[in-house]
Structures are given as structure tokens and as C-alpha cells.
């Protein structure tokens, strides 16, 4: 491994200290910035100069979890916040240390809600050890000493010691058992709940943060790749003669059974040469698949006799049959690409002894497992170095297709570091897409317009069937019912219906699904909350009061709905803007452990032009760790959610995705961005997620407002082709 | 060959004429703060200044530029992130994932160079970069803060 050691030295010198908090380890380098200083425990390193390095197991992709988790460790550590920096432990270290950092997966808005106790105990344990080390040094009882602001004080004598001065001794102590580590009561929190500035902003405003795309290792080559555009298709033949004559080209390689890569000195040359490779595809059995054909499959599922039950009480069919009035509507939600700003990429170096990968990933452990499998090496001989993500949104967590590709390439060029970077076009057509579904909602209404029974039949794609089929039991994917479950979970329906049936006829297309920020809550909230609005209208009742009448047993759902209604002034008409009447729409849901509601204010011109003026959104995430970052996530959720509602659709023709870049897959920009007012309605007592739940309320709030403005119901997303001139 | 004036320094390097400026900056000059997002001038992640004007560097060949034109990348925008836009970004915690922010900052700085006190309408029209995390409202507030036109609260 001498070659690698030499490279490590070169790389370290070349890369210097250009990251803030996160230094990128070079090949073969075992540890990160804390390497020179022994740790106090797995979570905390204190340098002699009192710098506190907090280890963060989850991945930062913009959602602020890095800062939030550091706040929680620091809360219990009693350290000086201004001295805090952070680093990622590697998946290889986690494996070697018996998963001391727990689950590294960063998805499902679980960063804080799942690991809050683990990280707070990590901070508290380190504090106990630091205090004990100081007490032993002074020869005084531990209970006469206390820690605050990175200083340990002996009460009776007033002696003081900085964390940095006792950290070495503390790290040699036996840590207390986790059960013996008490945590502060929420009332005693000093850092949790404060709107602290993010720890990772400085390198993001001067171009110095190294994303995966930016990594450069000595001797590194660059790869561009194209996989078969039809999912399931394979490479039949490759004519690479012309490409191999192009400047800078080193190799033209088959990758797996479905892709071809060009490896060159620069990526631009690799990409240019790839366009000259003549690839013959065996398109496989899905070469004629289309969105239109699959829509018919889903439509048949809306009335299929067989369906998996997600939520049921009473006898909805009988109640609907007996009702004097029946309301029915069919909705649909398309495939969508995550479209992370940073396209998929990874760098790998493979030798017969070891394989290392540098990549932005939402799940370091899954990336590590994928690396080992693709490398044909035991996990202990593999390592993954996580880099900050240029967007994740679920694309970079569950599958690591791009990691397998880069390892496959590196394995064909032993000892040479290779960086694989997808084109935007490859990223668009090789995604893991938002599941495509339809829903038929049927309600019985009595003479007063009250709901006697509701049947919601979902038909379409299951994410779990595509990604984790082992979790499907008797054809039932429990995640499909997100936001529609019976009470007591993390994603529950917020209404008490006298008779209810929610079921799912699973129909899976050949397009691979993925967890897409907001996941199944997105379509479920759209279906249910727009239909609730339809029912309120059919009953001739106010959409807020109609909902509230069913929410007696759902006080947290109701509280966020009430909060937005109060702030927006529901009940009194909105002031016109630019001579246009302004109309409102409401929505409430529960997902990822948090309760969220929104009200949209829109106007629609006579020509059918939509303007979204203002959004008021409320979130009850239980404990609010960093309010300004929660507000940032809520604001951002409307960009992601409204982009999906207004424009987001990936269609299939001839087995392949038709949209290839932002010209055919447009994004919301600043000219159409509404103002967003965030209410943090944190009721305490639980830990809810923040990054995802609000996505789901964006579309229904706006669509219900559009109905109020125009009398038109939009039941198929995206909105962009809809004629919004008044009905 | 290309001969460019980048961040105040004239550099000469071997490169094919049709290489986009973006890739010349990233791969030949190691200026990786400028990002690849789409390659077709749609997203603005690759925005740099050429003689003070915001240019999407992914869609202009390096041969279109000469050493008489002053190219500035995010790395050369200021010393110590001292540009008012960068300071406003820091104060308001504008970035989330941060990937689009080099381009966003360069677009915002170019706007202020020509329009020191832009209206909100002008900001929304002129800065049309894509951000998937959804930092738009803080971007607007950041530009207003840098321009001294922000409204309290």
C-alpha cells in the first residue's frame, strides 16, 4: 500500500484546509481532523485548545441536521457553543466499533427524531467523564464539581479547569453505563430550542466547500457513463473505436450489464467521447412501455376486487350505498425525479486489498455495503468517506446505483482513483422516481351533508415493492398508507369517519421507485385533502368548519389547522391584490411524526394565470430544536412541493423517461415563489421530523384555493397543462 | 490553448477550443466553486462574471473569451467573503445544501453591480437561478439586506 500512502501525503498537501469543519480524508487515511487528538468518547473530541469536535452520524444535505444534532450533543456536554465544530465518522469506523454511532441513514426526516436520545447521551457521557477527570486531578469528590461553558468548576474551592486541559485524562476513564446517564429536562435546555446559526454556512458562500463533484485526488481520472435508457435493458454491443481515438481517453468500459463508461483525463473529454461510442442496446421486455398504458392498468385497479387494507372501521360500502347522496372523484399523481442540484457522483480507488469511495450519500452504511459488494471485498477492507450532499431528497439513500458503478469502473483499473460524474441527462432518465398512483374516493353524505362513509381506493406503485420487497406482506405495503393510518403512529389520518375503508391495489410499472422527499404522504394528502374540500363544497359548508367537525379526537391535527386559520384570518375575505380577488385553500396532515397545516392565498386572472401570493404554514414537531432552521425547511418545502404540483412530471414513452433536463422538467423559480409565513406550533413531548412533512400540504392548499377562485377541481398533477379560466 | 484573465490573473493552458468555460475553470484551473448543474444554461449553478456581467459558463466555449475580458468566479468575488451579498448570506443563513449558492451569489452580485437598489420585482425577475432546497425567500431577503432595501422583520 505504499503507493496509496504516498498519494495520501500528496492529497493531504494538495487539499489542505479548504473545508470548514470537514476535512476530506485522502486515500488510505484512517481518520479525520480529530486523528491527532484522542476522543473523550465516540461523540466528542476536545482539543487542547478547547475546540470541541462533535461527531455527526447522519448526513447533511441542506436540511440542517448537522447543526441540530450538534446542538443536542452540546446541550448535554455543557460546552462553549462558539468552540464547536463537527466531523463525520466513517461507516467503516461504525462497523469496526459495533455501530457505536447507531444508524447512519438520513431519510424519513429521522435525523433528530430517531437519534435524539443517543446523541444527547453521547454528550452527557462525555461531560460526566470530563468532570470526573477534573475531580480526580484535584482529588475532590465528583459531586462537588460541575461543568458549564466548557469549564469544570470545583464549587468549594472555586478551582477551574477547561475541557481541553482534562480531555486526555477523561478519554482514559471507563464511561458510565448508558442507563446511569441522566438527561436534562426540557425546561433546563439552553441550546435546544434556540435559533442558532448553522455551522456549515461559511464554506458555502465562497466556493470552498468540496462536494463530491469537486473532489480531486492525485492521479485521478474522470468517467462519464450512459446506462440503457429503458429500465431493465442491457448492453448488447459496443463500438468504441472512434471514442478511443479522442484526446485524453484512457478506457471505454462496460459497467455492469447495462452501462458503458468512458474514462479520460478530464470529465469533459470523457463526456464528449461517450457521445461517440456506438452502443447497441438489448432493450428488453419494457421497450414499448408507456405512461398512457400504465394509466389504464392503474385505472383498472381502482375497481379491482382485491386490495390490501390500510385503515378500516365500520362498513364503508354499506354506509355509502345507504346514503342519500354519493360523491366520487378520481385523482392521480405522476412519476417525478428528485432532480438534486448536484447530479449523482462518486470517486473510488480499488486494489485487490482495499476499496475506498468518496461520495455524497444519505446513508453511509448502505453506501459501504454497496461498495463491499461491488468491490468483491469484505466490508472491513472497504471504506466510504461521506461528503456534504448537493441535495438528497431521498435519491441518495436507499439505493447506491452510482456507487456500484464507480466501484465497477475502479475495479477494472486497479490502483487508479476514478471519479464518476453523471450528466444531468443521465440523472433525469436513471432516477428512482416518485411512485405513480391514482385514487378513487367515494363518500356517502346524509341530508345535512355529513359524511356517513368514505372509501379511498389507491391504485398504483409501491416503493417497498421496488426497493425492499421483503417488507411486503400478503401484497400489503404499509408505507403506502402514510398519513392515512389509524391513530397512534407517526402518520395518522386526522378525521373520525363513522365508516371508513382505505385500501390499495398494488400495480407496479417497470419504472423503479424511490423515496422522494415527502414520500407517500405527498399523494395521500393531495387526494384526501382535496376530496375533503370537494365534500365541504358538496355539503355547502365552510371547508375549515367541515374539517373541524371531524377532528374532535385529533387535537394536534386541529391545533395546526386552527393556527393557520387564525393567522391568515380565515372567515374574513382576503384583500384583493392588483385588482384581482384573492382566494384561500386549506390543508392539514400528519407525517414523519409531525403535524402540519397550510393555507394558500392565490388569484387567477381572467386569462387563467395563477399567482400564489402567500402561504401560511404551521408545524407541530413536538420539540423544536432550531426554529430558524425549521422555518428554512418549511419555506423550502413549498418550493419543492409547489414545483411538484405545478410542473413535476416524468412520462414514459418507448420504455424510457422522456424528460431529460430542466428545459423539459421545469422548476419553480423566484418569480413565482410566494411569501411563506411559518408558525412553529411546537407542543413538546415528542420528536417529530421537519424536512419532509410540509411538502405534502403545498399542492392541496393551492389546489383548494384554485377551486375557490375558479370553481375548477384539479385532480391530476401537475397543474401546468390545466386550463384555469373560470368554469 | 486558452489565455484567460481569471480572478485577476492571466492564465494560459492547453484545452480544446470547444471546451465550455465551466469545465476549463473546474478541470484546468481547479476552481470548483463554480458548479455543473444542467449544462444547458437553465439552472445558473455555473454563473460567473465576465466584465461584471453574469454569464452561464456551461454554455460558452472557452474560445469565446480572451485575456482582455475579466472573468471572476466565486473564489475571486471577494477576500474573506466580504462582499455585501456574502455577508448578507452569512447573516441570514441563506444556503441549505449550498450547491447552487455560488451561482446564486454571483447572479445576485451582478444584479447589484448594475442595479444597486433593486425592487423586489427586479430581484425576482433578474435572479432566475434554480435552487431545489428552496432558499428563494432568503435569497430575496439577502439581496435586499445587501442593497439596504430590506424591510424590517
**Domain-wise residue ranges, chain B:** 2-76, 84-147
- What is the average per-residue pLDDT within A408-414? 98
- What is the average per-residue pLDDT within B85-107? 98
Over residues A584-629, the pLDDT tens digits come to 999 999 999 999 999 999 999 999 999 999 999 999 999 999 999 9
Residue A161 in any domain: the answer is: yes
In contact, A592 and A637? CB cutoff 8 Å: no
pLDDT of residue B151: 60
Inter-chain contact B20–A268, Cβ cutoff 8 Å? yes
Across-strand partners of A622? A687
Inter-chain contact A676–B125, Cβ cutoff 8 Å? no
Inter-chain contact B32–A423, Cβ cutoff 8 Å? no
Over residues B109-139, the pLDDT tens digits come to 999 999 999 999 999 999 999 999 999 999 9
Cis upstream peptide for A593 (omega within 30°): no
> DSSP letters of A272-311?
HHHTT-EEEEE-GGGTT--HHHHHHHHHHHTT-S--EEEE
Check CB contact of A660 with chain B, cutoff 8 Å.
no
B 81-140 near A (Cβ less than 8 A) = 81, 86, 89-90, 93-102, 105, 123-125, 127-140
> DSSP letters of A327-344?
EEEEEEE-B-----SSPP
pTM, rounded to two decimals: 0.95
Say yes or no: A326 and A403 in one domain. Answer: no
- Confidence band of A27 (pLDDT split at 50, 70, 90): low
pLDDT of residue A12: 34
Give the span between the Cα atoms of A496 and A557, in whole angstroms.
12
| Best residue in B136, B141, B144 for a mutation probing chain A (most A CBs within 10 Å) | B136
Question: Quick one: which of B22, B66, B132 has its CA closest to A643?
Answer: B132
A 48-67 near B (Cβ less than 8 A) = 61-64
Place of cell 458510565: A176
Residue A615 in any domain: the answer is: yes
Q: pLDDT exceeding 90 applies to what percent of chain B?
A: 97
Which of residues A195 and A29 earns the better pLDDT score? A195
Over residues A167-221, the pLDDT tens digits come to 999 999 999 999 999 999 999 999 999 999 999 999 999 999 999 999 999 999 9
A662 neighbourhood in chain B, CB within 8 Å: 38, 40, 42-43, 130
pLDDT of residue A720: 87
pLDDT of residue A9: 33
Residue A17 in any domain: the answer is: no
CATH of the domain at A273: 3.30.365.10
Residue A44 in any domain: the answer is: yes
Say yes or no: A592 and A533 in one domain. Answer: yes
Give the span between the Cα atoms of A410 and B136, in whole angstroms.
39
In contact, A179 and A60? CB cutoff 8 Å: no
- What is the average per-residue pLDDT within A261-271? 98
Beta pairing, strands B2-6 & B70-72:
parallel
Check CB contact of B49 with chain A, cutoff 8 Å.
no
Chain B: closest CA distance from residue A363 (Å): 16
Check CB contact of A424 with chain B, cutoff 8 Å.
yes
Considering only CA atoms, give the Rg of chain B: 15
Mean pLDDT for chain A?
95
Give the span between the Cα atoms of A597 and A146, in whole angstroms.
43
Angle A650-A722-A304 from CA coordinates, rounded to 5°: 65
Domain extent at residue A464: 291-336+433-710
Angle A657-A661-A666 from CA coordinates, rounded to 5°: 100
> Is residue A317 packed enough to be buried (19+ CB in 10 Å), middle (13-18) or exposed (0-12)?
middle
In contact, A690 and A108? CB cutoff 8 Å: no
For residue A14, pLDDT beyond 50: no
Say yes or no: A298 and A274 in one domain. Answer: no
> In A14-91, where do the E strands start and end?
44-46, 52-55, 84-87
For B2-76, CATH gives 3.10.20.30
pLDDT of residue A29: 54
Residue A11 in any domain: the answer is: no
Tell me the three state secondary structure of residue A98. coil
Over residues A412-449, the pLDDT tens digits come to 999 999 999 999 999 999 999 999 999 999 999 999 99
Tell me the three state secondary structure of residue A438. strand
Cis upstream peptide for A718 (omega within 30°): yes
Inter-chain contact A201–B100, Cβ cutoff 8 Å? no
For B84-147, the fitting CATH number among 3.40.50.150, 3.40.630.30, 3.20.20.70, 1.10.150.120 is: 1.10.150.120
Say yes or no: A387 and A477 in one domain. Answer: no
Q: How many domains does chain A have?
A: 3
pLDDT of residue A566: 98
In contact, B62 and B41? CB cutoff 8 Å: no
Over residues A83-98, the pLDDT tens digits come to 999 999 999 999 999 9
Q: pLDDT exceeding 70 applies to what percent of chain A?
A: 95
Chain B: closest CA distance from residue A568 (Å): 18
Give the span between the Cα atoms of B81 and A655, in whole angstroms.
48
Question: Quick one: which of A20, A18, A148 has its CA closest to A86?
Answer: A20
Inter-chain contact A636–B96, Cβ cutoff 8 Å? yes
pLDDT of residue A721: 79
A 192-251 near B (Cβ less than 8 A) = 197-198, 200-211, 213-214, 216, 222, 247
Say yes or no: A185 and A137 in one domain. Answer: yes
Mean pLDDT for chain B?
96
Chain B: closest CA distance from residue A63 (Å): 6
Over residues A133-169, the pLDDT tens digits come to 999 999 999 999 999 999 999 999 999 999 999 999 9
Say yes or no: A562 and A637 in one domain. Answer: yes
Inter-chain contact B90–A639, Cβ cutoff 8 Å? no
- Confidence band of A26 (pLDDT split at 50, 70, 90): low
Say yes or no: A398 and A543 in one domain. Answer: no
pLDDT of residue A158: 98
ipTM above 0.95, yes or no: yes
- What is the average per-residue pLDDT within A109-121? 94
- What is the average per-residue pLDDT within A503-515? 98
Say yes or no: A479 and A388 in one domain. Answer: no
CA dihedral A120→A121→A127→A132, nearest 10 degrees, is: 170
Over residues A555-583, the pLDDT tens digits come to 999 999 999 999 999 999 999 999 999 99
Which residues lie closer than 8 Å to B1 by C-beta, 6 or more apart? B12, B13, B14, B15
pLDDT of residue A222: 98
Residue A388 gets which letter from DSSP? -
Summarize chain B as % helix, strand, coil (round to 5).
Answer: 40, 15, 45
A429 neighbourhood in chain B, CB within 8 Å: none
Residue A556 in any domain: the answer is: yes
- What is the average per-residue pLDDT within A368-379? 98
Amino acid at each position: 500500500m505504499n503507493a496509496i500512502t504516498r498519494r495520501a501525503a500528496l492529497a493531504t498537501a494538495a487539499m489542505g484546509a479548504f473545508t470548514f469543519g470537514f476535512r476530506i480524508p485522502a486515500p488510505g487515511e484512517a481518520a479525520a481532523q480529530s486523528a491527532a487528538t484522542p476522543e473523550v468518547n465516540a461523540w466528542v473530541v476536545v482539543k487542547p485548545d478547547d475546540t470541541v469536535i462533535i461527531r455527526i452520524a447522519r448526513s447533511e444535505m441542506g436540511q440542517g441536521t448537522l447543526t441540530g444534532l450538534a446542538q443536542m450533543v452540546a446541550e448535554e456536554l455543557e460546552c462553549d457553543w462558539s468552540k464547536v465544530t463537527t466531523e463525520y465518522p466513517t461507516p467503516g469506523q461504525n462497523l469496526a466499533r459495533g455501530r457505536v454511532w447507531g444508524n447512519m441513514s438520513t431519510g424519513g426526516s429521522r435525523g433528530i427524531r430517531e437519534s435524539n436520545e443517543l446523541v444527547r447521551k453521547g454528550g452527557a457521557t462525555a461531560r460526566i467523564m470530563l468532570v470526573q477527570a477534573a475531580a480526580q486531578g484535584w482529588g475532590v469528590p465528583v459531586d462537588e464539581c460541575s461543568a458549564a461553558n466548557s469549564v469544570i468548576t470545583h464549587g468549594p474551592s472555586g478551582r477551574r479547569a477547561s475541557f481541553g486541559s482534562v480531555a486526555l485524562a477523561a478519554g482514559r476513564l471507563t464511561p458510565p453505563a448508558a442507563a446511569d446517564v441522566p438527561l436534562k429536562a426540557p425546561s433546563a435546555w439552553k441550546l435546544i430550542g434556540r435559533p442558532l446559526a448553522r455551522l456549515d454556512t461559511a464554506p458555502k458562500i465562497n466556493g470552498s466547500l468540496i462536494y463530491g463533484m469537486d473532489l480531486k485526488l492525485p492521479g485521478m481520472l474522470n468517467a462519464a457513463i450512459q446506462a440503457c435508457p429503458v429500465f431493465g435493458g442491457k448492453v448488447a454491443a459496443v463500438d468504441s473505436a472512434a471514442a478511443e481515438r479522442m484526446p485524453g481517453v484512457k478506457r471505454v468500459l462496460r459497467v455492469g450489464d447495462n452501462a458503458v463508461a468512458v474514462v479520460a483525463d478530464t470529465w469533459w473529454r470523457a463526456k464528449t467521447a461517450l457521445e461517440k461510442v456506438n452502443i447497441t442496446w438489448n432493450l428488453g421486455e419494457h421497450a414499448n412501455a408507456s405512461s398512457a398504458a400504465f394509466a389504464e392498468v392503474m385505472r383498472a385497479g381502482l375497481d379491482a376486487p382485491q386490495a390490501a387494507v390500510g385503515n378500516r372501521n365500520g362498513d364503508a360500502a354499506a354506509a355509502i350505498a345507504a346514503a342519500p347522496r354519493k360523491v366520487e372523484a378520481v385523482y392521480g399523481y405522476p412519476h417525478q425525479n428528485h432532480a438534486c442540484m448536484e447530479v449523482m457522483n462518486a470517486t473510488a480507488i480499488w486494489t485487490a486489498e482495499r476499496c475506498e469511495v468518496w461520495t455524497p450519500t444519505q446513508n453511509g452504511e448502505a453506501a459501504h455495503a454497496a461498495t463491499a459488494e461491488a468491490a468483491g471485498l469484505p466490508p472491513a477492507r472497504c471504506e466510504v468517506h461521506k461528503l456534504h450532499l448537493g441535495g438528497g431528497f431521498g435519491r441518495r439513500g436507499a439505493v447506491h446505483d452510482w456507487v456500484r458503478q464507480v466501484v465497477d469502473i475502479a475495479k477494472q483499473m486497479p490502483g487508479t482513483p476514478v471519479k464518476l460524474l453523471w450528466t444531468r441527462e443521465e440523472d433525469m432518465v436513471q432516477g428512482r422516481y416518485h411512485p405513480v398512483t391514482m385514487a378513487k374516493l367515494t363518500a356517502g353524505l346524509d341530508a345535512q351533508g355529513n359524511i356517513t362513509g368514505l372509501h379511498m381506493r389507491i391504485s398504483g406503485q409501491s416503493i417497498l415493492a421496488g426497493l425492499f420487497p421483503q417488507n411486503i406482506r400478503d401484497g400489503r405495503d404499509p408505507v403506502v398508507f402514510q398519513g392515512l393510518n389509524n391513530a397512534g403512529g407517526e402518520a395518522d389520518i386526522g378525521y373520525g369517519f363513522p365508516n371508513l375503508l382505505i385500501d390499495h391495489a398494488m400495480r407496479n410499472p417497470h419504472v423503479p421507485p424511490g423515496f422522494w422527499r415527502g414520500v407517500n404522504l405527498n399523494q395521500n394528502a393531495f387526494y384526501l385533502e382535496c376530496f375533503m374540500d370537494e365534500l365541504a363544497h358538496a355539503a355547502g359548508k365552510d371547508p375549515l368548519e367541515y374539517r373541524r367537525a371531524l377532528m374532535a379526537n385529533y387535537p394536534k391535527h386541529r391545533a395546526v389547522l386552527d393556527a393557520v386559520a387564525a393567522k391568515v384570518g380565515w372567515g374574513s375575505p382576503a384583500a384583493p391584490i392588483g385588482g384581482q380577488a384573492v382566494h384561500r385553500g386549506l390543508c392539514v396532515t400528519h407525517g414523519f411524526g409531525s403535524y402540519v397545516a397550510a393555507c394558500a392565498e392565490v388569484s387567477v386572472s381572467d386569462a387563467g394565470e395563477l399567482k400564489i401570493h402567500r402561504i401560511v404554514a404551521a408545524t407541530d414537531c413536538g420539540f423544536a430544536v432550531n426554529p430558524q432552521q425549521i422555518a428554512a425547511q418549511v419555506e423550502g418545502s413549498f418550493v419543492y412541493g409547489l414545483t411538484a404540483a405545478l410542473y413535476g412530471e416524468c412520462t414514459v414513452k418507448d420504455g424510457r423517461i422522456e424528460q431529460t433536463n430542466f428545459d423539459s422538467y421545469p422548476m419553480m423559480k423566484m418569480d413565482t415563489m410566494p411569501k411563506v409565513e411559518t408558525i412553529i406550533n411546537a407542543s413538546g413531548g415528542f420528536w417529530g421530523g421537519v424536512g419532509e412533512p410540509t411538502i405534502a400540504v403545498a399542492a392541496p392548499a393551492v389546489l383548494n384555493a384554485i377551486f375557490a377562485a375558479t370553481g375548477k377541481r384539479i385532480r391530476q398533477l401537475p397543474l401546468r397543462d390545466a386550463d384555469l379560466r373560470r368554469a | 490553448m486558452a489565455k484567460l484573465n481569471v480572478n485577476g490573473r492571466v492564465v494560459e493552458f492547453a484545452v480544446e477550443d470547444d471546451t465550455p468555460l465551466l469545465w476549463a475553470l473546474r478541470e484546468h484551473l481547479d476552481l470548483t466553486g463554480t458548479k455543473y448543474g444542467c449544462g444547458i444554461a437553465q439552472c445558473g449553478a455555473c454563473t460567473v462574471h465576465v466584465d461584471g456581467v453574469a454569464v452561464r459558463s456551461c454554455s460558452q466555449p472557452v474560445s469565446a473569451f480572451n485575456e482582455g475580458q475579466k472573468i471572476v468566479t466565486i473564489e475571486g468575488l471577494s477576500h474573506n467573503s466580504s462582499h455585501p451579498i456574502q455577508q448578507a448570506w452569512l447573516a441570514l443563513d441563506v444556503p441549505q445544501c449550498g450547491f447552487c449558492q455560488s451561482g446564486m451569489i454571483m447572479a445576485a452580485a451582478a444584479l447589484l453591480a448594475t442595479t444597486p437598489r433593486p425592487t423586489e420585482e427586479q430581484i425576482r425577475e433578474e435572479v432566475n437561478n434554480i435552487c431545489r432546497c428552496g432558499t428563494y425567500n432568503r435569497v430575496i431577503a439577502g439581496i435586499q439586506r445587501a442593497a439596504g432595501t430590506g424591510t424590517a422583520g
